[in-house]
Amino acid sequence: MSDPAEAPLGWQALLREADAARDAGNWAAAAQAYRAAIEAGCNDPAIDVQLGNMLKESGEWVAAAGRYREALAKRPEDADAWLQLGHCLKLLGRRAPAAEAYQRAFALDPRRRDSMEELLALGEAWRLGEAQPRALDLLEETLHAVRDLRRSLAIIEARLPMLESFATVKADRFEHYLARYRCPAAPGGATPPIDLLLRPGEASIGQAARAIAETARLLRAAPLAVRSVEIETEVPDLIALAKREFGVLFGPEVAALTGWVLVLAEGAVLRPEAIGWFSHFAARAPAETCLLLADEVQHHLDGTLTPVFLPGYDPMLLAAAGHLPVALCIRREVLRRAGAARPAALMAAAGAEVLHLPLLLADRPPATVAKPAPIIASPAASVAPRRYPIRVIVSTYAPDHLLSGCYESARRSAAAPGSLHWSVIDNRDVAGPSPTLAQIEREGGTVIAQHGEPFNWALFNNQGASDAREPLLLFVNDDVTFLTQHWDLLLREAFADPGIGAAGARLLYPDGRLQHAGILLGVDGATEHEGRGAESADPGPWQRRVRRRRAAAVTGAFLACRQESFRMLGGFDAEGLPVLFNDVDYCLKLRAAGQKVLFLGDVEAIHQESATLARRFDTSVRDAAFALARDRMRSRWGAHFAEDGSYNPHYARIGTPFGALVPPSLERIEAWVAGQLPSV
């Protein structure tokens, strides 16, 4: 705009009037005042642009375009005038002239993103290179820098497992690990009031006295760590010792207290950073969270130490293992509801609203060694769930070589073979007679022809389920041989829990070694079948390879799920994940919808593993497909694909699962706890 000192007085007042009308949104009045100012002698091209803007806002697009051209006749290098002309021409439907105007704007001022974005939106990106001859050079330089950065990141990523391995300790050398492990201090910040409740329970008087003395020593080092101390015992000597050791903190009137209570049971002893971490996560726990529990160190009578690394919070598995925590933090109102500070009563009162902290925060005395429940091979023998029908879906390339064994073994071992409704996708190269397929059709099954079609496991299984009305679907590979008697009753029993969305079986190699006890996420940057290659008799940590428990995912070689959920979630991803990771993807979708995935350690089958894939794809093709599918899963699921809520962070994510220990970082600890909260 011209210098007011040099402007005729007549149009200066008109400009003030025009600006006021513009700011008030009165486009027509503003246009009239700007036009009057120009006619009164204002020759500033910026005022022509303003007049054009007001005409454009008033819907007078042709007049606005003329005014922008007037401004450009006075000042051809005005990038904003070219940009506004482009906007106006686009409104008039004149795409080519609009693109030329945007190109001129970008050539004059490449720092403005609006002209570049308009050209991209018009599909005229080639004009950017013409407008800025140096753009191609800049692009090439940028791409070269990106390639260098990617190479550097690839080198760093490749070295990370090696660097992490320097910090690992063999899993069976826990005492060596404990000597190296330093539990980090909890982050600072406001925390709620924490009260301490000692419950010696079945501990000896000597062990209980030691726990009181050690706890008092801990509190003397951090006098503001707790608000009060209580003890639940009828032993006078222990009460007197607690009064003496805890002084003014001991024995307050607790009836009116609220907040969190840290319960220390069975003569257990807190580790130095325990109160800080329990306080930290108590302050951040959602309102519905009732209880916090942590990892512990088990002391044995022979002086040895073993870890109690919890598999997240899995009440089914923990109950089967006979585990009860000796240090837990609970809301006082839940403690009152429980009626007693016994760990079993507290866990029952908390229900499912429990968070696990992956930190070694307490020492368990020898008397607290867990006593696992006996493993029952087939509990379904004593139960009689409703025998509703099950849709069994299997795709096959070799019906008379592989499928026949699968079909016969499933029917032979089922309690109700007549309730199995079969859908078979025939993916042979060419059609031809098949005794197995003919038998399946005679016995009421359906055969879907996909002769010569590219192998797409996800698509074929979606087709097999498309007309299903049975409540339960079972996807099974044709190279599976069923072993467990009454496996169908066990499936129905598992799905009697409405929170279960999918379940998978314990799979063995033909030589009897273990192949699959659930899928672990985040191992070596992808996934791994838990227990792969282990001896069948090896139950694994927490006996998790032979128990029913929660899992992050299970293999599609034997995957049962609810028909209603499968339909609601759109089935398997046949387009993005046709062969690999579609089972994991579906399990993650189920969990994101609030349902659980269950590994059934009591349902067993033999699986030849990828017998069909080995026939259809060579190794190089499988490797390339694996990398592509893995990258797609990383992009789609992010941290949810990298972290397994049943695989404690103290176990290394490189090498054989559960084979090595590594101290979790602060970031890993926070991410583990966050992963237990509803988020996906």
Instruction: Evaluate whether 542 touches 550 at the Cβ level (below 8 Å).
Output: no
Give SS3 for 397.
Answer: coil
Homologous superfamily in CATH for domain 185-368: Spore Coat Polysaccharide Biosynthesis Protein SpsA; Chain A (3.90.550.10)
Which residue do the tokens 């007693």 mark? 340
At 329-355, the pLDDT tens digits run 999 999 999 988 889 999 999 888 999
| CATH entry 1.10.3720.10 includes domain 4-135 | no
Residue 507 has a pLDDT of 97
Residue 369 has a pLDDT of 84
Residue 620 has a pLDDT of 63
Residue 114 has a pLDDT of 86
| pLDDT average, residue stretch 419-440 | 93
- Per-residue confidence at 7, pLDDT binned at 50, 70, 90? very low
At 603-648, the pLDDT tens digits run 999 999 764 555 555 566 677 788 899 999 999 999 899 989 999 9
Q: Flag whether pLDDT at 419 surpasses 90.
A: yes
Task: Check if 4-135 and 388-647 are the same fold.
Answer: no
Instruction: Evaluate whether 386 touches 490 at the Cβ level (below 8 Å).
Output: no
What are the residues facing 558 on neighbouring strands? 476
CATH architecture of 388-647: Alpha-Beta Complex (3.90)
What angle, 0 to 180 degrees and rounded to 10, lies between the N-to-C axes of helices 404-413 and 435-442? Answer: 40
Q: Flag whether pLDDT at 409 surpasses 80.
A: yes
Residue 596 has a pLDDT of 96
Residue 677 has a pLDDT of 81
At 194-243, the pLDDT tens digits run 999 999 999 999 999 999 999 999 998 887 789 999 999 999 999 999 99
| Helix, strand, coil share (%) of the chain residues, nearest 5 | 45, 20, 35
Q: Flag whether pLDDT at 253 surpasses 50.
A: yes
Residue 156 has a pLDDT of 66
Neighbouring CB atoms inside 10 A of 598's CB total 24
Record the pTM.
Answer: 0.74
| Mean of per-residue pLDDT scores for the chain | 88
| pLDDT average, residue stretch 528-545 | 94
Where in the chain are the domains?
Answer: 4-135, 185-368, 388-647
- Per-residue confidence at 154, pLDDT binned at 50, 70, 90? confident
Residue 285 has a pLDDT of 92
At 350-399, the pLDDT tens digits run 888 999 999 999 999 998 888 887 765 544 444 456 789 999 999 998 88
At 657-674, the pLDDT tens digits run 999 999 998 989 999 999
470 Cβ partners below 8 Å, 6+ apart? 388, 389, 390, 391, 421, 563
Residue 254 has a pLDDT of 64
Q: Flag whether pLDDT at 4 surpasses 60.
A: no
Q: Flag whether pLDDT at 70 surpasses 60.
A: yes
At 278-330, the pLDDT tens digits run 999 999 999 999 999 999 999 999 999 999 999 999 999 999 999 999 999 99
Which residue do the tokens 């009260």 mark? 195
